[in-house]
Structure formats: C-alpha cells, structure tokens
Amino acid sequence: MGRRKLLRIVKETVLRARVTAYRDRRNRKRDFRSLWITRVSAAAEMRGLSYSKFMHGLKLAGITINRKMLSEIAIHSPLVFDEIFAAAREAKAAVAA
C-alpha cells in the first residue's frame, strides 16, 4: 500500500529504480562484451589458437573488426571466420619467423 500511495516512499522507490537502471545500463555493456569474448575464444580454440594469440594475430594482420562482429561471424558464417582466422595465423607466423 505504501509504495503506491505515500509520496515520500514513492520518491525513494523511484530514486532507487533510477540508480539500478543507471548501474545496469553499464553492466549490460560489460556482460555483452564478456559474451562476445567467450564466443570468439571458443571459435578460435576450435581452430587451434587461444583468444589472445588470435586477437594479436588480427592486430598484426591489420584487421580491425570489433568483438561483436567477430562473434556474429563465428556463429553465422564459419567459412568467413575461417578466412579471418587464416589471415591472423599467417600474420602471427610471419612475425615469429
């Protein structure tokens, strides 16, 4: 009864709701980035490289693609992901040699 009718309690409830909404908008970004990294990591490890080595290879190859797009490609277009992976692996091997 009080949360709907009493003004002081309504104000506190609205303030608390705004605080959690503000916090959770930032947490949602963090959660999605973690999900994308997990997906890319799984796809890279299936092909024989760890996530960090794969991302380093992408940087060496000059491929700038964000984690969200990488995870979508890994799920929906595995052949395209194979090509990106091959380019990263070659760039990493060229530096190591």
CATH number of domain containing 64 = 1.10.1900.20
Q: Which pLDDT does position 2 carry in this prediction?
A: 75
pLDDT at 46 over 80: yes
Tell me, rounded to whole angstroms, the distance of Cα 59 from its chain centroid: 17
* Residue whose C-alpha is closest to residue 74's, from 94, 96, 34, 47: 47
Q: Which pLDDT does position 52 carry in this prediction?
A: 96
Confidence grade of residue 48 (pLDDT, cut at 50, 70, 90) = very high
pTM (2 d.p.): 0.85
Tell me, rounded to whole angstroms, the distance of Cα 57 from its chain centroid: 18
pLDDT at 44 over 90: yes
Q: List the domain range (segments joined by +) for residue 8.
A: 2-96
